[in-house]
Amino acid sequence: MNYRCPICEMYAARVFLRRENVPVHQNFLFDNEQEAISMSRGTLNIAICHNCGFVFNTDFDAGLLSYDEKYENTQSYSPVFEKYLDDSVNYLIHQRGVNNRRIIEVGCGKGHFLQKLVEQGDNSGIGFDPSYIGPLEKLAGRLRFRKEFYDEAAADLVADVIVCRHVIEHIGNPLHVLGMIRRASPPHLTHKSFLRLLTWNGY
């Protein structure tokens, strides 16, 4: 059976992995054992599009998910991952010229990466994430957070740089979100530069 790809919209995707009754979240903190046992479960039906190469879950159900303060995906406790973040910040500041810029981070988590980028590059930034925990303003207002998803209500916020790390795999309709990000991008940003910005991940 061929599935419709959410990216190229061709019916060219075939399933190569299926797992049923799988917990819908990892990186979730629970108050007790029963909460953990009772976590929502769903089906992984992983397909690859033979036209564009996109890999996705055909049974993805956003209604089963809950990205709130209990969602904890911080990896910077690892010295190796912290070095990766530092290398990424250095790359953006020194090789891509992200200095004195207005930054939006879509899916900023607890804001660790965005804060580094704002502090070290003399930037200002707004981070969007419903799982964010902490003050809504830092660094004398240069760094702000919104405990919500980035959506149409935020797409009119103009930014020089938009960061979107480790987010696309959590979204059922990537093109919709990428379209909002594109509309909020600076007018002079070319299509090719926009794609490079989105696909950059520092590895």
pTM of the model as a whole: 0.77
Rounded mean pLDDT of 6-12?
Answer: 93
For the stretch 14-38, pLDDT in tens is 999 999 999 988 777 888 999 888 8
Residues 117 and 175 in one domain: yes
Distance of CA 14 to the CA centre of its chain: 25
Give the range of the structural domain holding residue 131, as residue numbers without chain letter.
79-199
Residues 119 and 191 in one domain: yes
Residue 120: give its domain's CATH number: 3.40.50.150
In a domain, 48, yes or no: yes
Q: Give the strand pairing for 161-163 and 102-106.
A: parallel
Residues 136 and 177 in one domain: yes
Q: Which of 20, 21, 18, 22 is nearest to 3 (CA)?
A: 18
In a domain, 29, yes or no: yes
In a domain, 74, yes or no: no
Rounded mean pLDDT of 80-106?
Answer: 92
Residues 87 and 187 in one domain: yes
